[in-house]
Chain A
Amino acid sequence: MWQSVYLLLTAIVIVASAPDRNIALKFDISQSHITVTNDVKSSLDDITPAQWKGFVTSGVDSINRQKRLEDNLLSSAITVQNGSLSHAQLLDTLPNEKSKLDSDIALKMLKASLYIYNSKCDPEAISGDQCRTYLESKPLPEGSTLRSECERLLNTQRDGHHAFRRLLPQDYKDGFHQLYNERDQPNAWDISMALYDRENEAAEKTRSRSRSDDSRNLNLVLVQFAQFVEHDLSKTVSQSMSSGLPIECCNRDQHKLQPRFHHPFCAPITSQDKYGFHNCLNYVRSALAVGESCNFGGAEQLNQATGILDLSQLYGFTDAAQNKMRTLSRGTLKSSSNGNLLPRTSDNDEHTFCAWGDNANATNCFVAGDSRVNSNPLSILVYTIFLRNHNRIAAELLSRHKNWNDEQLFQAAKTINVDIYRRVIMNEWLPEVLGANTAAQVLNTPAATAGQPEPEVSNEFGVAAIRFYFSMLPNVLHNLANTNDVASNNNVLPLTNLFELKNEIYTPQIQYTPQKLNEILQSLLHERAMKMDASYVGAIVWHERTKPTHADALAFDIQRGRDHGLQPYYKYLEACSNTKKVTGWVDFEPYIPREILDKLKNLYRECKDVDLIIGGISERIVNGTVGPTFSCILSEQFSRIHQRHQLQQTSTHSTLLDAYRGMNGSKLLCLNSNVRAVPENIFRLQSNSNRLVDCNNVA
């Protein structure tokens, strides 16, 4: 009943807001604005120039002093070992050199700000939020080395290492970067374990498909494209040691390290076993970025990705990365298996793409513009489709423009490939995720005015809302490759699996051939997605209090949301629905099903503590694939992206692009694989309303 009321309200909002261009997508941040009081101002205005400089010196010294500790960690071999659990996680969050430099400067600025907070604010009972807000308008002292380093950074090309945008201001214990402790918030792993649904997992094993969402016929291609979009738009990366080496926060037994080996950037995910030992999963706090100016202030996380849909996950976003992917001949990208598969790693970059141990006899490891390409067989498939598409277009262009050189062919093929990708995402995928109405509103967003600062990806989008797809992943991919040949829509699943997900995460074990990728693609198209909800399958969470042998994606997301200082769920619920003041659990009832709400009440001390990711995945789906809060965050982000896309559309290749306007999702899959037929809507199972398209008829 509540749901229908909500739907009605949503409808009213949408209708009522029609005259305003994008009011349904508006995010209300008015309540979160912080004003610095006069008392605080006058107290902090007394800080002398010499003191400002002293604080910067102290901050820089403090970071430089960590080198001693890091030397000790390295001499005790406390760093990420090849083939470890932490290695796989590192590949998910692998920083590049520019990010490390940016983060180092940002960290020193943060540490200087913390010295001010600890010397001038906290002792005077000035709150962290007040103090931070005051400092955000204070530039680093003139003449300091840190200031010139920062300015140099701001004047360089910053593609791929901007700070995430924040929809709401930081929420940290000290207002700057400090995590709340376990007395303040329930442990991340405990939350993940409590939400794990044993009964459903058992049901899935007996193949009764109890958790799938029968009402909506979504398939796994939708899920996999969500991950592909995430890889394009958002990549948080871990902080590193000053030497550039990765940080490890757990010991070899996946237990907590001795405190002496605890790096200040560590915030490991732990859970106590029956003997009192703490099982441990690595979590290194995310790299920081300098914001828009060289001012003091709180932590802002770095996004090592570009804020538009540009296939940077395939091509890379720097010239150097891109050149690594190119053959530099005929405009093509490197590949293997006669152009059918992604290129493979060489000996020297294997450990930056796959989590194989040093002695593993592994042959499978693919290269792309992003270290996350090998995160699972499904991601390998999608990257491969767009690689093939690029090379197919380049060949077509060459046959029509024999005199074009490599650069011309490459740029044109890339532009067309990106354009096709954008249309599939914005016109086909987005309506499935947000529902047709909201997606239409996103696409109604007018172009941004040229010259305005380009809006970056929001922190809330990158580490919470876009992560919704994890709950829709299954433990195994069944082999449904022959589904086209037999009568479909039966509920009897075949007995063979293509792979078990937990074995394949950053360790591609199955033998990749063009035929294998076809099977995976067919199976993706015909495998029903699991429901977007608060229970994740055992392949991606670790739900026992025993030594983990793989990671826990949900615990990781909870921890990362806290690391990034995201406000609790209720704040976003308020900001998105724009009308309500949340005062108690009862206010969640219209959005979260009762049985989940009961679990949350047991886990959290109060409703205002619920993490954004947990609230988001717990919500009832409205229309589309997600609940209202994630829908709000996602649509806000895609409107911004759409604004930026429109600015770019006066490109030199417009006539070329016109020639490919007819491309859509089904053609994309047909032309870049050997499947015989695909559903018209590639994100849904075939049905009477979603018929198969014969690939032979696609041109």
Chain B
Amino acid sequence: MRNLNKFALAILCCCLAALPQFGARRLLEFSTESPNAIADDEFGTYNFTSCQIYCYGSLLDTVQMAKLFEDSKTFVDMKLLFSPQKTLEDFDAFMAAKNNTPSRDEIREFVDAHFGAKGTELDVWTPTDWIEHPGFIDLIHDPDLKQWGVDLNNIWKELGRKMKDDVHKNPDYYSIIPVPNPVIVPGGRFIEFYYWDSYWIIRGLLHSEMYTTARGMIENFLSIVQRIGFIPNGGRVYYWGRSQPPLLTAMVKSYVDFTKDDLFAINALEILEHEFEYFINNNTVQAKGHNLVIYRDTSTGPRPESYSEDVETSQSFTTKEAKEDHYSELKSAAESGMDFSSRWFINANGTNEGNLTDAKTRSIVPVELNAILYWNAKMIAEFHSKAGNIEKMVEYETKAQKIQEAIQAVLWNEEAGCWLDYDLINEKPRNYFVPTNLSPLWVKAYNLSESEKISASVLKYIEANNLDSFPGGVPNTLYNTGEQWDLPNVWAPMQYILVEGLDNLGTPEAKALSQRWGQRWVKSNFEAYRETLAMFEKYDAENFGGHGGGGEYGVQTGFGWSNGVIIEWLAKYGRQISLSNTGAAARSCRLITVLGATAVAIVGAFAGRFIWRNWFK
């Protein structure tokens, strides 16, 4: 199969020039390598012309292994100055001239001569539907939090991006995937749109009453499914073999909930079904006689955006096949959005101890992916019912029912009192805490009549894992490995899943815990913002107001999903929550109220310690 892939790629390279840019053509047959795979896929892996530069090949390998940039993602985000074909010809000549062993400086010269600065394909864009005072602000009682809400609403303007016209005219020269509408990006090194991030961004936009921007982003995704068949991890061609947790249908549902525009959902149904079937067809495995889905990847080679890092971890494997398998496990973990985490490690003893070389993502049935697909089926059924397609509605209700049965049979663990990921290699549940273990609560993928029982059981699970003891939010796991999706890092989408899930459960105890965690998250994010005037990509469970670390790049600010979750919860808790003033004598006035809007805040960031130390100490 691997050889076939290579062969197909070779053919692909030869014929690319003849292909229409976004022909959504099936280029290769794919079948997952997992022994449990049952799906012989009917969708393909697709390719772009610029992929020869940015996704694989000798040029990518030579440049990335020279480590010209501190962040490996820099190179693959640089614009081509010449056509891919000319660039490759020049590169071949360059290599021949240098005896195939160019020096680092010579490689740098080649890159300087053939590539322009990164990120130049995007312009900062002020959303046209941005308003200064969306209604949610009025729901916030505390004056400092209210001002923070105003600031967060302002940040949308900093995160808006529109593609330059040249991208549409000359897509071959860029790694960016062209989309028709402007987007809100996560921020920091993530200068393009990302798939699952966009769910929380879009919810934030909807609370900010930016319906056009939200709709534009959803339409981009719909157009990508039409063109490519699935939604890649993010808006770059080098994410060609992996998706992310499929939340497109939930985005549509959120949009419809806010705008009551049922027709939008009904019109999207065909594409939503297509994406749903794509996951079912490509990602399904069997466990205990049930069909469930896993994360996987269809590309070859290291992750282009973290190329040398992957090559380094692959050093512990000797054969080409073993290295390729390792890359697949890493990219499958990237498809989960949780790259990386001890959650994906299975060592020889069947436990989660180890490091990236123990990644076995494709052999782990993840709770949330199955829960999300259940949810997708339910929502598709609901949209069909609104459209009056009873047959289709029943079809998708049945699909949902099947998935729920599989979740109950394979992933629910009576002993632990919670859902658990399932290890296909050792055929056993993985009793390690991850917030996603509670994700069925979020999408209501459980028997609603058993809420009382599940509530008692889940609360016991939470207590047993001491999850309420962390002042900065619930950590992603209880294992400190250095990876960014492990202790002590806390992530906004995971807090969202936990808090909304417990809230859905509806028992007074679960609701009380939900509220405590939700408000703790808001206060801790505010403390970090008060200190740094920044929103972070990840936070620190042990540190109230502290930000996260670990992984392969430094912590990023911006930050799309964190902002989205806070805006939603400022709207949700705004009337009840107020900041404490026990130590007010020591920290007498609060910066936000005084400083006001973001423009001032930026000045404040420079004045930094001077202001903070003198005002708060």
Measured CB to CB, the residues of A under 8 A from B are: 37, 39-40, 43, 54, 57-58, 61-62, 65-66, 68-69, 71-73, 75-76, 114-115, 118-119, 121-127, 129-130, 180, 183-185, 255-256, 258-262, 275-278, 605-606, 609
Known contacts A121-B583, A123-B527; A259/B551 CB under 8 A: yes
Residue of A65, A76, A185 near B480 (CB, 8 A) is A65
User: In this complex, what residue of B is CB-closest to A78?
Assistant: B482
- Are A40 and B582 closer than 8 Å at their CB atoms? yes
- Are B482 and A62 closer than 8 Å at their CB atoms? no
- Tell whether B549 is near chain A: CB-to-CB under 8 Å: yes
Q: Considering the complex, which residues of chain B in the window 467-508 have a beta carbon less than 8 Å from any beta carbon of chain A?
A: 469-472, 478-484, 487-488
Known contacts A75-B355, A125-B582; A58/B617 CB under 8 A: no
Name the distance in Å between A624's Cβ and chain B's nearest Cβ: 34
- Tell whether B165 is near chain A: CB-to-CB under 8 Å: no
Residues of B within 8 A of A54 (CB): 469
- Are A262 and B549 closer than 8 Å at their CB atoms? yes
User: In this complex, what residue of A is CB-closest to B545?
Assistant: A122
- Tell whether B608 is near chain A: CB-to-CB under 8 Å: yes
Known contacts A76-B355, A260-B484; A124/B583 CB under 8 A: yes
- Are A118 and B586 closer than 8 Å at their CB atoms? no
- Tell whether B585 is near chain A: CB-to-CB under 8 Å: yes
- Are A184 and B608 closer than 8 Å at their CB atoms? yes
- Are B609 and A180 closer than 8 Å at their CB atoms? yes
Residues of B within 8 A of A606 (CB): 610
Q: Cα distance A40–B580 when bound, in Å?
A: 12
- Are B542 and A62 closer than 8 Å at their CB atoms? yes
Among B353, B480, B532, B584, which residue has the most Cβ atoms of chain A within 10 A?
Answer: B480
Residues of A within 8 A of B466 (CB): 57-58, 61
Name the distance in Å between B162's Cβ and chain A's nearest Cβ: 27
Q: Cα distance A130–B588 when bound, in Å?
A: 14
Q: Cα distance A596–B580 when bound, in Å?
A: 45
- Tell whether B552 is near chain A: CB-to-CB under 8 Å: yes
Q: Cα distance A605–B544 when bound, in Å?
A: 27
- Tell whether B387 is near chain A: CB-to-CB under 8 Å: no
Known contacts A183-B608, A259-B553, A278-B70; A123/B481 CB under 8 A: no
- Are A123 and B544 closer than 8 Å at their CB atoms? yes
Residues of B within 8 A of A258 (CB): 309, 551-552
Q: Cα distance A259–B538 when bound, in Å?
A: 13
Residues of A within 8 A of B542 (CB): 62, 114-115, 118
Measured CB to CB, the residues of B under 8 A from A are: 68-70, 309, 342, 353, 355, 466, 469-472, 478-484, 487-488, 520, 523-524, 527, 532, 542-546, 549-555, 579-587, 605, 608-610, 613, 616-617
User: In this complex, what residue of B is CB-closest to A37?
Assistant: B585
- Are B480 and A118 closer than 8 Å at their CB atoms? no
Residues of A within 8 A of B478 (CB): 65
Among A58, A72, A114, which residue has the most Cβ atoms of chain B within 10 A?
Answer: A72
Known contacts A114-B542, A118-B542, A260-B552; A69/B480 CB under 8 A: yes
User: Given known contacts A54-B469, A68-B479, A261-B482, what 19 new A-B pairs fall within 8 Å (CB)?
Assistant: A39-B582, A40-B586, A72-B355, A114-B543, A115-B469, A123-B524, A123-B580, A125-B583, A126-B582, A126-B583, A127-B583, A127-B586, A127-B587, A183-B605, A259-B553, A260-B552, A276-B69, A605-B609, A605-B610
- Are B551 and A260 closer than 8 Å at their CB atoms? yes
User: In this complex, what residue of A is CB-closest to B352?
Assistant: A68
Residue of A40, A125, A260 near B579 (CB, 8 A) is A125
Residues of A within 8 A of B471 (CB): 115, 118-119, 122-123
Among B579, B584, B586, which residue has the most Cβ atoms of chain A within 10 A?
Answer: B586
User: In this complex, what residue of B is CB-closest to A253?
Assistant: B67
User: In this complex, what residue of B is CB-closest to A34?
Assistant: B586
Residue of B355, B487, B523, B583 near A39 (CB, 8 A) is B583
- Are A125 and B584 closer than 8 Å at their CB atoms? yes
Residue of B68, B480, B545, B580 near A68 (CB, 8 A) is B480
Main secondary structure of the interface of A (DSSP, over half): helix
Residues of A within 8 A of B472 (CB): 118
- Are A40 and B583 closer than 8 Å at their CB atoms? yes
Q: Cα distance A57–B472 when bound, in Å?
A: 17
User: In this complex, what residue of A is CB-closest to B469?
Assistant: A58
18 contacts between A and B (CB under 8 A): A37-B583, A39-B583, A40-B583, A54-B469, A58-B466, A65-B480, A123-B471, A124-B583, A125-B580, A125-B582, A125-B587, A127-B583, A183-B532, A258-B309, A260-B481, A260-B483, A261-B482, A262-B482
Q: Cα distance A262–B543 when bound, in Å?
A: 17
Residues of B within 8 A of A125 (CB): 579-584, 586-587
Name the distance in Å between A329's Cβ and chain B's nearest Cβ: 52
Name the distance in Å between A630's Cβ and chain B's nearest Cβ: 25
Q: Cα distance A278–B581 when bound, in Å?
A: 41
Known contacts A118-B471, A259-B551, A262-B550; A66/B584 CB under 8 A: no
Residues of B within 8 A of A277 (CB): 70
Residues of A within 8 A of B616 (CB): 127
Known contacts A39-B582, A125-B583, A606-B610; A68/B544 CB under 8 A: no
Q: Cα distance A261–B488 when bound, in Å?
A: 14
- Are A124 and B608 closer than 8 Å at their CB atoms? no
Residues of A within 8 A of B69 (CB): 275-276
Residue of A43, A57, A73, A122 near B482 (CB, 8 A) is A73
Name the distance in Å between B606's Cβ and chain A's nearest Cβ: 8
Q: Cα distance A69–B527 when bound, in Å?
A: 28
Name the distance in Å between B467's Cβ and chain A's nearest Cβ: 12
Q: Cα distance A255–B605 when bound, in Å?
A: 28
Residues of B within 8 A of A37 (CB): 583, 585-586
Residues of B within 8 A of A68 (CB): 342, 353, 479-481
User: In this complex, what residue of A is CB-closest to B482?
Assistant: A260
Q: Cα distance A278–B71 when bound, in Å?
A: 11
User: In this complex, what residue of A is CB-closest to B342?
Assistant: A68
Name the distance in Å between B148's Cβ and chain A's nearest Cβ: 15
Among B353, B479, B554, B609, which residue has the most Cβ atoms of chain A within 10 A?
Answer: B609
User: In this complex, what residue of A is CB-closest to B605?
Assistant: A183
Name the distance in Å between B472's Cβ and chain A's nearest Cβ: 7
Name the distance in Å between A644's Cβ and chain B's nearest Cβ: 36
User: In this complex, what residue of B is CB-closest to A72?
Assistant: B355
Q: Cα distance A37–B480 when bound, in Å?
A: 37
Q: Cα distance A126–B582 when bound, in Å?
A: 7
Residues of B within 8 A of A261 (CB): 482
User: In this complex, what residue of A is CB-closest to B306?
Assistant: A258
Name the distance in Å between A330's Cβ and chain B's nearest Cβ: 54
Name the distance in Å between A109's Cβ and chain B's nearest Cβ: 15
Known contacts A65-B487, A69-B482, A125-B579; A259/B550 CB under 8 A: yes
Q: Cα distance A37–B543 when bound, in Å?
A: 24
User: In this complex, what residue of B is CB-closest to A63?
Assistant: B480
Residues of B within 8 A of A605 (CB): 608-610
Q: Cα distance A125–B591 when bound, in Å?
A: 13
Name the distance in Å between A21's Cβ and chain B's nearest Cβ: 36
User: In this complex, what residue of A is CB-closest to B606?
Assistant: A183
User: In this complex, what residue of B is CB-closest to A276?
Assistant: B70
- Are A275 and B482 closer than 8 Å at their CB atoms? no
Q: Cα distance A129–B587 when bound, in Å?
A: 11
- Are A66 and B587 closer than 8 Å at their CB atoms? no
Q: Cα distance A129–B583 when bound, in Å?
A: 11
Residues of B within 8 A of A185 (CB): 609
Name the distance in Å between A6's Cβ and chain B's nearest Cβ: 29
Name the distance in Å between A488's Cβ and chain B's nearest Cβ: 51
Residues of A within 8 A of B605 (CB): 183
Residues of B within 8 A of A127 (CB): 583, 586-587, 616-617
- Are A124 and B483 closer than 8 Å at their CB atoms? no
Q: Cα distance A126–B545 when bound, in Å?
A: 13
Known contacts A125-B580, A130-B586; A184/B480 CB under 8 A: no
Q: Cα distance A185–B609 when bound, in Å?
A: 8
Residues of A within 8 A of B487 (CB): 65
Q: Cα distance A72–B70 when bound, in Å?
A: 22
- Are B586 and A126 closer than 8 Å at their CB atoms? yes
- Are A122 and B480 closer than 8 Å at their CB atoms? no
Residue of A119, A130, A183, A259 near B544 (CB, 8 A) is A119
